Amino acid sequence: MERRESTDKQQQLTLRYNQRLLFIGKTRSGKSFLSRALMQNFARDKDLQIIIIDPKHEWKKFGKGDSLSSPRLVTKYMEKVRIQIFQTFTWIPALDEMIDKILLRGKAIVIFDELGGLADANKVPDGIMRLWSQGGGKGVGAWALIQRPKRVPLIIKEQSEVFFMFRIISLEQRKAIQDFISDIRVIEQALPKFYFWVYEEGWDKAILARPIKQSVKLS
């Protein structure tokens, strides 16, 4: 199933569940809001499993796992639960086991609601390496949210196909974006709050998007 977001008259972003997405921006810049809006749209596919890794323990309301408003809080992977949340401050063996099982199952999205604390430019668990290098071909998407471009692991920079860049105040941090987006405009100045750049691998330039006011409409 394909889902599309119209960005401008010249380019259209096509999102598929098995893609790798990277969301970068300071706290409260809008990246979590956008990622959850996208989750809502993908959650309409009843055959798609969504697994959220929540190191910040920001998700508070849980249920049976049949919708994003009622996700199942789990301590290990559950193959028959459609929407599940795993809360942990650090990387633990249960996450490696979970990723192995998801890669075998297919048709899923694994979302790291904050990558910091689990991986950085100098430390990448094997499970994340497998997810970003093998997931696309096995029908498993991977999304990562992180605050600082310089902390993004190389495997995630190299394998991510779609980038969402929100407000980043530090010029040094914005310059690190050039490692994976060559459009000079993304480093010239910090964006206003909730504005963001959209870039898909292969595009000649990034697109500046206005703040979203409601769930992103994809078709």
> Residue 98 — φ and ψ, nearest 5°?
-60, -45
Q: Where are the domains of the chain?
A: 2-209
> pLDDT of 32-49, one tens digit each?
999 999 999 999 999 999
> pLDDT of 167-211, one tens digit each?
999 999 999 988 788 899 999 989 999 999 999 988 989 999 999
Please answer whether residues 68 and 77 qualify as being in contact, where contact means their C-beta atoms are separated by less than 8 angstroms: no
Q: pTM here?
A: 0.90
Please answer whether residues 147 and 120 qualify as being in contact, where contact means their C-beta atoms are separated by less than 8 angstroms: no
Q: How far is CA 35 from each of CA 8, 105, 132, 142, rounded to the nearest angstrom?
A: 20, 23, 18, 12
Q: How far apart are CA 199 and CA 207, in angstroms?
A: 6
The CATH number for 2-209, chosen from 3.40.50.300, 3.40.50.1220, 3.40.50.720, 3.90.470.20, is: 3.40.50.300
- DSSP string for 193-215: TT-EEEEETT-SS-EEEPPP-SS
> pLDDT of 64-100, one tens digit each?
999 999 999 999 999 999 999 999 999 999 999 999 9
**Tokens, residue 39:** 């989750």
Contacts 24+ apart (CB under 8 A), 102-105: 102/49, 102/51, 102/77, 102/140, 103/130, 103/131, 103/134, 103/135, 103/138, 103/140, 104/138, 105/49, 105/79
